[in-house]
Amino acid sequence: MLSMTRQVHFTEADRKRPGTWDFLASLRRWKVFAQEGARNFRFGPQGVFWPKVRGPWAPARPDNTGAADALDRAEESSALGKLSFVSLCLLVFAMPWEDAITISDFGTSVRLIGMVTVGLGILAIIEKGKVRRPAPGHILMALFVLMATLSCLWSLYPEGTLVQSFSYVQLFAMVWLIWELAPRVKEQMWLMRAYVLVTFIAGVDTLYLFFSHQESVYQRYAGAKLDANDLGLIMALSIPMSYFLLLHNKGWMAWVCRLQLVLAGTTILLTASRGATLATLVALSIVPLTQARLTGRQRIAVVLTVSLLICAALFFVPESSWERLSTLPSELERGTLTGRTVIWSAGWEIFRVHPFLGIGANAFRPIVSRVLAEPIRLGDRDPAPPAHNTFLSVLVEQGIFGFTLFCALLVSLALSLRGMPSFPKRLWMVSLAVWAVGVSSLTWEMRKPTWFFFGLILAQCGSMAQKRLTHSRAPGFAVAQAPQLLLAHEPRP
């Protein structure tokens, strides 16, 4: 603080002049704020900190040096922060519906919600006065986005690459907002609930189309105006998450999760997506992997849910879906997987010509159509075939350098799960496996569910790392809170 001798530098006449005293006192207060901010601005182990503006009239902060008080203060959310988080949940809820609701001369409803969420999130971060230090996964994501943006310089389809670069920046912003606005398991559970609820609605819409005989493509059904294969993978990714929520919730939410599991399996069979069916088999592995930790009542609930799923599949799924799914072994052995292997061969030929930097983000469709002797699935909406394989798409579009960054990101996500408790670790390991199997026949490196799952994994690993850091700095607090923290990640009886 400034000394009193330095504060008083005006005459008695100035003091009596109307407004002079208040104006000069205000100038002194703001000078003190600037000095305090310059002293306290720092880059700490948890991120960049800058002090919140506090006037000399504000009450002194309590000297809470205990780990419990520090953790409570770190977890507090202001009204703006809560509003930003609600907007983020709404963005997650609207992801599968981005093609169902459009605004003329603007775009999809998700774009509008995303713009509002980013604006509110930036204001909430400024108000909070702290930016969390990024995880290694965030750095790899940023490098991947940078690589996609720089590919505009050598892209064979610069217009599409520029559009895709903006999309990647928006997706990275969503991941960062999850990191900033959902630092605790409680917020992350709400994001998971939002995703499960929206898949529930998409499943109901699919059943409605089935009962009203409105096929998306020949003898296949998909709600929310989604592609049948995309909807199948969206539902498959929801199965481990819904199972996790089923064991961690009671009351109406538990019943919603039970019904969602039944609806998810039925919807996947109605889409008749062979790739999604394989991913679903991987998703169901979460049940035997966690059986040892379930109580008797939970085992009964799981058996009941599986029984309902089997009954729903036998009752609702038509014979045409079973016939298409039965062709999977022959297609894998000697078929073309509905022309996918032809596209993959053409993509590999393009990669051999442009191995290091690739052809540019979002350039696969127009370039591969030049290589194919007869373009597949040409139409007004799909002028050229997509890669139908996320890994091949990244390899061809961004070359070895971009593909290495993408694989490094996946390895970083897998390695970050090592420090998590047993149950959530198995949840996210299974979810990553489901994603890897599903995207082997889809182009999903730019899809919002992909980046949402990556961001959620990073956020949950970050919350676990923060708790371990707090416990290591305050052993007494760790011993007192250890049973509660353990129960927060184990299934409820």
349-370: pLDDT as tens digits: 999 999 999 999 999 998 988 8
Q: How far apart are CA 434 and CA 449, in angstroms?
A: 12
4 within a domain of the structure (yes/no): no
Q: Which of 300, 320, 337 is the last residue of a domain?
A: 337
> The domain containing residue 92 runs over which residues?
77-131
22 within a domain of the structure (yes/no): no
Q: Which of 92, 113, 131 is the last residue of a domain?
A: 131
Q: Are residues 333 and 428 in the same domain?
A: no
Using alpha carbons, select from 169, 141, 181, 118 the residue that is nearest to residue 413: 141
Backbone φ and ψ for 49, nearest 5 degrees, come out as -120, 140
Q: How far apart are CA 316 and CA 329, in angstroms?
A: 24
Q: Compute the CA torsion angle 68, 70, 75, 80 (nearest 10 deg).
A: 140
Q: 102: Cβ–Cβ under 8 A, 6 or more apart, which residues?
A: 108, 109
| Max Cα distance, the chain (Å) | 98
Q: What is the mean pLDDT of the chain?
A: 81
Contact criterion met (CB below 8 Å) for 421 and 464: yes
Tokens of 193: 């609930």
Grade residue 21 by pLDDT with cuts at 50, 70 and 90: very low
Q: How far apart are CA 407 and CA 391, in angstroms?
A: 9
Contact criterion met (CB below 8 Å) for 423 and 240: no
Q: How far apart are CA 445 and CA 243, in angstroms?
A: 25
Q: Is 405 helix (H, G, I), strand (E, B) or coil?
A: helix
How much is the pLDDT for 477? 45
* Residue 388 backbone class (left: φ over 0; alpha: ψ -120 to 50; beta: rest): left
How much is the pLDDT for 383? 56
229-259: per-residue pLDDT in tens? 999 999 999 999 999 998 888 888 888 898 9
Residue 24: CB atoms within 10 Å: 16
Stretch among 87-101, 113-127, 281-295, 391-405 having the lowest mean pLDDT: 87-101
Residue 308, class by beta-carbon neighbours within 10 Å (0-12 exposed, 13-18 middle, 19+ buried)? middle
Grade residue 6 by pLDDT with cuts at 50, 70 and 90: very low
Using alpha carbons, select from 382, 361, 385 the residue that is nearest to residue 371: 385
As a whole-number percent, the residues of the chain with pLDDT over 70 amount to 75
Q: Are residues 431 and 344 in the same domain?
A: yes
199 within a domain of the structure (yes/no): no
Count of domains forming the chain:
3
For residue 112, which amino acid is it?
A: L
Q: Are residues 301 and 352 in the same domain?
A: no
411-466: per-residue pLDDT in tens? 999 999 988 888 899 999 999 999 999 999 999 999 999 999 999 999 999 988 77
Grade residue 382 by pLDDT with cuts at 50, 70 and 90: low
pLDDT of residue 482 exceeding 80: no
26 within a domain of the structure (yes/no): no
How much is the pLDDT for 400? 97
* Cα 429 to Cα 186, 237, 439, 442, 473, distances in angstroms: 20, 12, 16, 20, 29
Mean pLDDT of 187-199: 94
Measured between its terminal Cα atoms, the distance across the chain in Å is 56
Mean pLDDT of 208-235: 91
Q: Which residue has the higher pLDDT, 481 or 278?
A: 278
How much is the pLDDT for 370? 82
Grade residue 99 by pLDDT with cuts at 50, 70 and 90: low
205 within a domain of the structure (yes/no): no
Q: Is 447 helix (H, G, I), strand (E, B) or coil?
A: coil
pLDDT of residue 150 exceeding 70: yes
Q: Are residues 325 and 351 in the same domain?
A: no
36 within a domain of the structure (yes/no): no
Q: Are residues 156 and 227 in the same domain?
A: no
Mean pLDDT of 34-49: 50
Q: Are residues 331 and 343 in the same domain?
A: no
Residue 108, class by beta-carbon neighbours within 10 Å (0-12 exposed, 13-18 middle, 19+ buried)? middle
Tokens of 461: 């690993």
> Which range has highest mean pLDDT (74-88, 149-163, 376-390)?
149-163
Q: How far apart are CA 126 and CA 120, in angstroms?
A: 10
Tokens of 163: 């559009």
Q: Are residues 288 and 394 in the same domain?
A: no
Tokens of 420: 């998590």
5 within a domain of the structure (yes/no): no
How much is the pLDDT for 483? 42
* Residue 54 backbone class (left: φ over 0; alpha: ψ -120 to 50; beta: rest): beta
Q: Are residues 313 and 411 in the same domain?
A: no
For residue 168, which amino acid is it?
A: Y
How much is the pLDDT for 68? 43
Q: How far apart are CA 111 and CA 92, in angstroms?
A: 12
How much is the pLDDT for 55? 41
How much is the pLDDT for 489? 54
170 within a domain of the structure (yes/no): yes
Q: Are residues 375 and 318 in the same domain?
A: no
Tokens of 144: 């991947």
